[in-house]
Amino acid sequence: MATFEISGVLVEGIVTAVPKNSIDNLNDPHIEREQGEKVLKTTGIRYRRLANDTTTASDLCYVAAVNLLKQFQTFKGDIEILVFVSQTPDYILPATAPILQHKLGLASHVAAFDMNMGCSGYVYGLSTVTSILSTSMNPNAKALLLVGDTVSKLCTPSDSATYPLFGDAGSATLISKSKEGKFIFDLNSDGGGCDAIKVKKGGFRTTNENNMLNSNTTKPSLYLNGMDVFSFGISKVPKSIKSFLTFVDKEVSDFDYFIFHQANMFMNEKIRKKLKIESEKVPYSLHNFANTSSTTIPLTITTQLNEVTNKNNKVFCCGFGVGLSWASVILDLNKDIYILNIEIDE
Amino acid sequence: MKSLQKFTELFAEQFDESEDVVFEPTTIFKDIDEWDSMIALSIIAMVDDEFDKTINGDIIKNANTIEELYNKVIE
């Protein structure tokens, strides 16, 4: 495991943005009622927020960022890093991060780049921005982490293995250099499992006739091997978390919350029970928002941690899935953190 | 290690709506009406709990009968 500690950086605020359009799996013409009930029973997912045809992940992140930066106006000029984490970017090229830098009116001295990560992307993104930020020569430097996906656009209604499971969301997290604050990361990968969650088309590995650049072909679509992902989730994830906790000499009781990637409640409950974590420490947002890929962790923080601003919290986050990739972080969410979830009326 | 009979009982417990099905080691489980990907996840979880073994999707896909699956689990 790649484990590292970064001190002197603190989360100032997290804002998430979801489309107002909420689809009920129990009342969707593309999903049989019985199938919707099974999905609800097994995964815990009922509602999905869907972006319209013209709204991208970066649009959702943009709205989140605007609302976050409103709270920190004086800090805008100190933003030095902007990272956009997504697997549904605006274009193959250019990267989306510089587009967001410009759209947000940030200075050109911002280092802006994209990261192509999904379920583990929020933690990977945090590791990258905090690493760079901690080495900044500006004592007031800030980083803006924009994490979002519109995976629903990769799911066809006829595919019952993916269509009922994914929603769209974006997020913005502001991180500052600070005297307090510490992150400890544990990052992992296993590309041997790359076929378990895959969109083949749209890249350059596929042959020309299958490439999305050829307009005659069908749109890229998501393949999900639910059984393999489930096996991975219930075996690798709890083992990895146990090793990490042992390595850093921490116990489950040291944390106020465990925020897990939200793909399947049945899987997460297996993980929770294996780690012997009390249920009240493990919040879920997937009932209302489904699997929003890279955004599940910040969305769970903004929508489920109602009392997070009452006191300082020690939080353990773990994202796991596409890659395969899994990543954990131990961080502090202080009581003066700004958190908000907003609905976008497109 | 739990017996094939015990495995068959545990396998049957994952089904809620198949009271009329007699679960035998020779039962071709994919022919049971209730069988679907959600039940498959329950089977993977049951094997993890009861046999401390992680089985992937291919093992389930390649097995036809409960006994064939059991033989893979105890390998």
The residue among A39, A163, A225, A230 with the most chain B CBs within 10 A of its CB, best to mutate, is: A230
Buried b (16+ CB within 10 A) or exposed e, A112-136: bebbebbbbbbbbbbbbbbbbbbeb
Q: Torsions phi, psi of B57, nearest 5? A: -60, -35
Could you say which residues from 248 to 277 on chain A have a Cβ atom under 8 Å away from some Cβ of chain B? 264, 266-267, 270
Nearest CA in chain A to B55: A231
Inter-chain touch B41–A226, beta carbons under 8 Å: yes
Note the pLDDT of residue A264.
95
Instruction: Inform me whether the C-beta atom of residue A42 falls under 8 Å from chain B C-beta atoms.
Output: yes
CATH number at residue B44: 1.10.1200.10
How many domains is chain B partitioned into structurally?
1
Closest by alpha carbon to A235, among A207, A274, A201?
A: A274
Inter-chain touch A226–B45, beta carbons under 8 Å: no
CB A344 within 8 A of CB A60: yes
In angstroms, what separates the C-alpha of B44 from chain A's closest C-alpha? 7
**What is the residue-level pLDDT of chain A in tens, covering all 346 positions?**
789 999 999 999 999 999 999 999 999 999 999 899 999 998 999 999 999 999 999 999 999 999 999 998 777 789 999 999 999 999 999 999 999 999 999 999 999 999 999 999 999 999 999 999 999 999 999 999 999 999 999 999 988 889 999 999 999 999 999 988 899 999 999 999 999 999 998 888 876 655 555 555 678 899 999 999 999 999 999 999 999 999 999 999 999 999 999 999 999 999 999 999 999 999 999 999 999 999 999 999 999 997 777 889 999 999 999 999 999 999 999 999 999 999 999 7
Closest by alpha carbon to A327, among A193, A175, A133, A128?
A: A128
Distance of alpha carbon A165 from alpha carbon A167, whole angstroms? 7
Q: Which helix (H) or strand (E) holds A15?
A: strand A2-19
Instruction: Inform me whether the C-beta atom of residue B74 falls under 8 Å from chain A C-beta atoms.
Output: no
Note the pLDDT of residue A211.
56
Instruction: Inform me whether the C-beta atom of residue A223 falls under 8 Å from chain B C-beta atoms.
Output: no
Per DSSP (E only), the strands in B5-63 are: none
Distance of alpha carbon A123 from alpha carbon A228, whole angstroms? 22
Distance of alpha carbon A342 from alpha carbon A320, whole angstroms? 25
Note the pLDDT of residue A97.
98
Instruction: Inform me whether the C-beta atom of residue B40 falls under 8 Å from chain A C-beta atoms.
Output: yes
Note the pLDDT of residue A344.
95
Residue B60 has pLDDT above 90, yes or no: yes
Inter-chain touch A230–B38, beta carbons under 8 Å: no
Note the pLDDT of residue A213.
57
Spell out the residues 6+ positions from residue A207 whose beta carbon is closer than 8 angstroms to its own. none
Residue B25 has pLDDT above 80, yes or no: yes
Pairing of strands A79-85, A142-150: parallel
Inter-chain touch B48–A226, beta carbons under 8 Å: no
- With 0-12 / 13-18 / 19 or more C-beta atoms within 10 angstroms meaning exposed / middle / buried, residue A202 is middle
pLDDT band at B37 (very low <50, low <70, confident <90, very high): confident
- DSSP string for A122-168: HHHHHHHHHHHHHT-S-TT-EEEEEEEEEGGGG--TT-TTTTTTB-E
- DSSP string for A164-204: TTB-EEEEEEEEEEEEEEEEEEEEEE-GGGTTSEE--TTSS
Pairing of strands A313-321, A257-260: parallel
Q: Which domain holds residue B21?
A: 4-73
Note the pLDDT of residue A340.
96
B38 is written with which tokens? 């959600």
Q: Which domains does chain A have, with CATH numbers?
A: 1-346 (3.40.47.10)
Distance of alpha carbon A34 from alpha carbon A38, whole angstroms? 6
Closest by alpha carbon to B56, among A242, A189, A233?
A: A233
Instruction: Inform me whether the C-beta atom of residue B12 falls under 8 Å from chain A C-beta atoms.
Output: no
Residue B55 with chain A: CB contacts under 8 Å: 231
Inter-chain touch A235–B60, beta carbons under 8 Å: no
Nearest CA in chain A to B54: A231
Inter-chain touch A41–B38, beta carbons under 8 Å: yes
Phi-psi region of A323 (alpha: psi -120 to 50; beta: other; left: phi over 0): left
Please report the ipTM that was assigned to this predicted complex: 0.82
Note the pLDDT of residue B66.
96
Cβ contacts from A onto B, under 8 A: 42
